Structure 1
Amino acid sequence: MSESETTKIDAYRELADKHVSANRIIALFKPYSAQIAWVVCLLVISSAVGMASPFMLRAIIDDALPNRDVTLLMYLAGGLVGIAALSAALNTVQVVMSSKIGQSIMHDLRVRLYSHLQSLPLSFFAATRSGEIQSRIASDIGGLQALVTNTANELARNTSIVIMTAIAMFALDWRLALFSMIVVPCSIFLSDRVGKLRETITHEQQVRLGDMSAAVQESLSISGIILSRTMGRAEHLIRRFARTSHDVAKLEIRSHTTGEWQWQMIYLLLATLPALTLLLGGLLLNSSAPATIGTLVAMIALQEQLLWPLEDLLVIGREMRTTRALFARVFEYLDKPVEISEATNPVHLSRSEMQGEIRLENVQFTYPGTSRPTLSDISVNVRAGTSVAIVGSTGSGKTTLGYLLARLYDVDDGAIRYDGIDVRNLSFETLTDMLGVVTQEPYLLYASVAENLRFAKPDATDEELVEAAKIAQIHESLAALPDGYNTLVGDRGYRFSGGEKQRLALARTILRNPPVLLLDEATSALDTKTERAMEAALANLSRGRTTITIAHRLSTIRRADQIVVLQRGRIVEVGTHDTLINAKGVYAELAKSAA
């Protein structure tokens, strides 16, 4: 084994030991313990009913047929048919119930993982490929689906059959039964060895599947296609995808063939058991307590009834070892810490109670994994209903300040207060009702224009949609489309220009009518004519509400009541446009360079 493979195995074992335990997996099934109990009862009843068949078979061979007792033969044959019919009915009910339980557990796990991901900090998504996240939700949980819907059911059923069959075998002849049990510990030992070998391979396989999913997500999006074609790199991407797919194929082969010779040893043991049992039974015919021919036939029948569920149990045991790798990947995400959480007793404000006053008090912030503070000693007072502009060169911390205002990150020190209340003490609902955000890169859903707008306000009327679109200077463009507001925006809104997407995002925020507007380069993609129209619209919209504008283009913030100039994460100037121009400082230099 190479050093790299040893490192991968050690890394996986550390991951699995940290995140996966039997109790944690069992906890997934606990909410459905009552339903599972019913399924187990059905399995036990079905197995117990099935145990009567070999005894009836022995009676047919040893009693009914030698004595030519047709009446007994008819009763026994009818009993065999009745047992088969009852078993089929019980199995049908049990399979339906098991499938419903399994799908419910998978649904709970998917929703739980999705909900947890929704609460993780931006730093997680900045460092994680979206294709990898999709792979864990779809591929990993999809792989677990077989375990909880089919495997768990088969485990319970086969276990009950094995136990009942073993009891019946010992009731028939303890000597033959004890001989038959010799193969069990050997088979379990070999099966466990194979499972251990394939578990690590399964984890590596899922990692590469995540890589493949990420490659598809990145290269087959509209942005990826445009990039590959304009750069002439389509062949390179195809080769890269082919390498990843080849790795997945090799791992798939290894996951099914590693330890195969040991697995075939199990098949050999199970296949030779009936012949060895007949040999032992023949030897016992000359003993003081001989086994009857009927007993031997019934024992062979019970062995057949024992061997296929035992074989299934060994396969299940092997598969459960490999699914541990899937649980490790899912639980790893579920154990990611939630950095932004709601206060234990959060403050709730109604819309009528919100004024829109904002105070930043000695705010300090450093991104995780970095040593240099991004923002230091930021203190700003924003009176309700006024407009404030945050300006500065690239890397000055403007967008980071916007993240903190929206509580996408929490400050390391100091405080941000809305209407005198620390943002960390506000309920999530109150903060989202109070603050409307339009970012530099607006995100549109793959849905109609109307659905995108109603994402902000699901109960908005058509008239409200039109009014918001008019304020955002986008209504005329939408009305001119063949399907109007029912037009599909396409993947990430690529059907629209950059300026149209920004105006749609602005209209979506306007629809919520928040008392505070945060515009992070919200007009950066607009042409001069539209920008002027937007300026007038925003001026009307800003009356009676607080507006914070983060901007590179200083032409959009000349009329701001207060301009805050950032440089290297610190405030270096505060004032109006005219005051700062006359001061001939940093702002004046920015204005001069932008002219």
Structure 2
Amino acid sequence: MTFGRHAPRPTAAEREQASHVSLRRIAALFTTYRWQLLLVTAIIVASSAVAMASPFLLRAVIDTALPQDDLRLLVLLTAGMLAVAVTTAVFGIIQTWISTRIGQQVMHRLRSDVFTHLQRQSVGFFTRTRSGEIQSRITNDIGGMQAVVTSTATSIATNLTTAVATVAAMVALSWQLSLISLLVMPPAVLLTRKVASMRRELTARRQQELADMNVAIEESLSISGIQLSKTLGTGPFLAERFAASSKRVTELELRSELAGRWRMAMMSVVFAAVPAVIYLAAGLPATAGKISIGTVVAFTALQTGLFRPLLGLMSVGISLTSSLALFARIFEYLDLPVEIADPAIPADIDPARLAGHVRFEHVSFTHPGSPLPAVDGVDLEIPAGTSLALVGQTGSGKSTLAALMARLHDPDAGRITIDDVDIRTMALTDLASVVGMVSQETYLLHTTVRENLRYAKPGATDTEIEQAASDAQIHKAILALPEGYETMVGSRGHRFSGGEKQRIAIARTLLRNPKVLILDEATSALDTRTERAVQEAFDRLAAGRTTITIAHRLSTVRNADQIAVLDAGRVVEHGTHQSLLERRGRYAALAA
């Protein structure tokens, strides 16, 4: 497990990648909602325009209505102020509802796109990648982007529109005082860029540490992880390592939140000091009497209102720049090439009408990073409805050949056909309905027995499910459970014995009714009595199907129509059980 190590700092290449996430690509996430965004923008502009009436109403109150004791004018002006407040509040509610809805839909699409794209990745990708890392990207990274996705566009539009309208109103009131207020802008922009850069790097490190923590949870708190830690007595050690990882996350969160805070605080002080400078400027001999009190009060109110959107724009800029690290991690997954993809034009076949005649024609395959081929020039033919057994030492290529048949990998050379149709030309869903696989490691979901079986065929009726369980000789055992088919299986099915899990897997495969069946060392971990019961279920399952069986125990394959002996990825012997024994070669040595 890796979570005990300190999270590595992002490399220069990673920082470069984060900095080059295209803002155009981020903006493309919102293209579907462009009309809604235009509506939001229109509402924001209207709200900002209405809000700009307030300082002019205030000036009229101070300079005209109050000095002249004009009650009617005062009532109209104050009513106008109230109307402005109500109107902007209503606009704000509508704008927030639309923008939040758009943001949540974008979040939903991102999560769904990443999940769907990862579903299309090859088994090799999941072999290389920690499951906790994958979960962290879908939950932590996309969750961390939520504030940016849901509010960035509207925050920019709101703050920018408000700032522009405020500046226009300030210039209309007094262009001289406007110059004083705007002197703070250049240093504010430079400061924002510096803080954003600091937070972006911290964000990348924090997300990596969160991913490590997710891995810790996934590996240590699964049923298998708990059993391992209890049997090895490593619980206190794991708790200590997890606490260290959690502490690093806390420190990075704190540093990320505080990054540049003192700089921004200094800017807030400068912004707060500007009104004092304005009052001073209005009272200087050169300007005394030229600017009315109402103008000064209204201008000061506008100036205070200007700094709020300016600070908002700075904060949004910091958040957006910081989130580039998150977008980089998500787009990295979305950009992963699909190694095993549906053909552009799938073969026009009816899976139900295929006979199941299988051929391996000069098939070779080498695992990435391996110097030697796992399968090398294999030629085999399995007529429809017959059985082939693959035997050989561990690492001889048996399981790799089965994985190629199920298209978990694609061969580097040669081809595999079913009824003379290359399986690479079949739609993946068609191939999955034709080829069924039962492996030694049976994976059960944390749900009811019924839903575990229905997972293979979502539209299966209860009658079909129970019939499949009966054929797999597991129906009676299920009925004996506390709640029968509604009994919760538990994490990874650990409440069931190995033989029971295998028979549930057989029932699941029976529901799909595949024409080609692969049994990958499915009874190697069972005791003799359980193996006999499971083998009977296998015999029912294999009836009328083309069957490829992989086993270490030769007793389970002696009745196969043909047996192929593999060594270093090559077929070194081929024949029936009896003919191979008489040959006194590799198979006879294995059987001895």
| Interval containing the TM-score (normalised by the shorter chain) | over 0.9
Contact 2:503 2:537 in 1 (8 A): no
Give CA-to-partner distance per residue, 1:277-309, whole Å, 9 cap, x none: 1112222x6449821111111100101111112
Q: CA deviation at 1:335?
A: 1.4
Q: CA deviation at 1:544?
A: 2.1
SS of equivalent residue, structure 2 residue 30: helix
Aligned counterpart, 2:465: 465
Report the Cα distance in structure 1 between the residues aligned to 2:437 and 2:371, rounded to whole angstroms. 29
Which residues of 2 match residues 359-398 of structure 1 at below 5 A?
359-398=359-398
Which residues of 2 match residues 152-171 of structure 1 at below 5 A?
152-171=153-172
Contact 1:499 1:526 in 2 (8 A): yes
Aligned counterpart, 1:243: 244
Residue in structure 2 matching 1:12, options 8, 11, 14: 14
SS of equivalent residue, structure 1 residue 181: helix
Contact 1:396 1:569 in 2 (8 A): yes
Give CA-to-partner distance per residue, 1:375-433, whole Å, 9 cap, x none: 10011011011011111111111111111111111110110111101111111121011
Which residues of 2 match residues 133-212 of structure 1 at below 5 A?
133-212=134-213
Aligned counterpart, 1:311: 311
Q: CA deviation at 1:6?
A: 11
Aligned counterpart, 2:39: 38
Contact 2:8 2:205 in 1 (8 A): no
> Are 2:111 and 1:110 equivalent residues in the alignment?
yes
Report the Cα distance in structure 2 between the residues aligned to 1:545 and 1:92, rounded to whole angstroms. 63
Give CA-to-partner distance per residue, 1:19-53, whole Å, 9 cap, x none: x1111111111111111111111111111100000
SS of equivalent residue, structure 1 residue 544: coil
Aligned counterpart, 2:27: 26
Q: CA deviation at 1:266?
A: 1.5
The worse-fitting range, judged by mean Cα deviation, of 478-487 and 543-552 is: 543-552
Give CA-to-partner distance per residue, 1:179-223, whole Å, 9 cap, x none: 211112211110110110111111001000100010011001111
The amino acid that maps onto 2:249 is V
The amino acid that maps onto 1:13 is R
Contact 1:442 1:502 in 2 (8 A): yes
The amino acid that maps onto 2:15 is R
Contact 2:356 2:515 in 1 (8 A): yes
Aligned counterpart, 1:445: 445
Contact 2:506 2:538 in 1 (8 A): no
> Are 2:589 and 1:585 equivalent residues in the alignment?
no
The worse-fitting range, judged by mean Cα deviation, of 353-362 and 533-542 is: 533-542
The worse-fitting range, judged by mean Cα deviation, of 487-496 and 531-540 is: 531-540
Contact 2:385 2:545 in 1 (8 A): yes
Report the Cα distance in structure 2 between the residues aligned to 1:536 and 1:287, rounded to whole angstroms. 103
Aligned counterpart, 1:535: 535
Q: TM-score, normalised by structure 1?
A: 0.96
Identify if the C-alpha distance between structure 1 residues 60 and 341 changes in structure 2 by more than 3 Å, giving closer, same or farther: same
> Are 2:58 and 1:57 equivalent residues in the alignment?
yes
Aligned counterpart, 2:348: 348
Contact 1:270 1:307 in 2 (8 A): yes
Between the aligned residues of both structures, percent identity stands at 50
Give CA-to-partner distance per residue, 1:489-520, whole Å, 9 cap, x none: 01111111122111111110111111111111
Identify if the C-alpha distance between structure 1 residues 254 and 513 changes in structure 2 by more than 3 Å, giving closer, same or farther: same
Give CA-to-partner distance per residue, 1:121-168, whole Å, 9 cap, x none: 111111111111100000000010111113332222111111111111
The amino acid that maps onto 1:179 is I
Aligned counterpart, 1:500: 500
Identify if the C-alpha distance between structure 1 residues 232 and 7 changes in structure 2 by more than 3 Å, giving closer, same or farther: closer
Report the Cα distance in structure 2 between the residues aligned to 1:266 and 1:120, rounded to whole angstroms. 49
Q: CA deviation at 1:9?
A: 4.8
Aligned counterpart, 2:555: 555
Q: CA deviation at 1:441?
A: 0.7
Contact 2:445 2:452 in 1 (8 A): yes
The amino acid that maps onto 1:190 is L
The amino acid that maps onto 1:69 is D
Report the Cα distance in structure 2 between the residues aligned to 1:164 and 1:132, rounded to whole angstroms. 46
SS of equivalent residue, structure 2 residue 518: strand
SS of equivalent residue, structure 2 residue 194: helix
Which residues of 2 match residues 61-76 of structure 1 at below 5 A?
61-76=62-77
Identify if the C-alpha distance between structure 1 residues 287 and 395 changes in structure 2 by more than 3 Å, giving closer, same or farther: same
Contact 1:348 1:430 in 2 (8 A): no
Report the Cα distance in structure 2 between the residues aligned to 1:341 and 1:459, rounded to whole angstroms. 25
The amino acid that maps onto 1:483 is E
Unaligned runs of 5+ in 2: 1-5
Q: CA deviation at 1:234?
A: 0.6
Report the Cα distance in structure 2 between the residues aligned to 1:5 and 1:509, rounded to whole angstroms. 43
Aligned counterpart, 2:326: 326
> Are 2:455 and 1:455 equivalent residues in the alignment?
yes
Contact 1:9 1:200 in 2 (8 A): no
Cα root mean square deviation, aligned? 1.6
Identify if the C-alpha distance between structure 1 residues 458 and 6 changes in structure 2 by more than 3 Å, giving closer, same or farther: closer
Report the Cα distance in structure 2 between the residues aligned to 1:551 and 1:296, rounded to whole angstroms. 91
Contact 1:55 1:298 in 2 (8 A): yes
The worse-fitting range, judged by mean Cα deviation, of 473-482 and 206-215 is: 473-482
Runs of 4+ in structure 1 deviating by more than 4 angstroms, as ranges, are 4-7
Report the Cα distance in structure 1 between the residues aligned to 2:498 and 2:535, rounded to whole angstroms. 17
Aligned counterpart, 1:576: 576
The amino acid that maps onto 1:8 is P
> Are 2:266 and 1:265 equivalent residues in the alignment?
yes
Aligned residues: 587
Q: CA deviation at 1:480?
A: 0.6
Q: CA deviation at 1:7?
A: 6.7
> Are 2:429 and 1:415 equivalent residues in the alignment?
no
Aligned counterpart, 2:3: none
Identify if the C-alpha distance between structure 1 residues 17 and 188 changes in structure 2 by more than 3 Å, giving closer, same or farther: closer
Q: CA deviation at 1:345?
A: 0.6
Contact 2:363 2:411 in 1 (8 A): yes
SS of equivalent residue, structure 1 residue 182: helix
Aligned counterpart, 1:474: 474
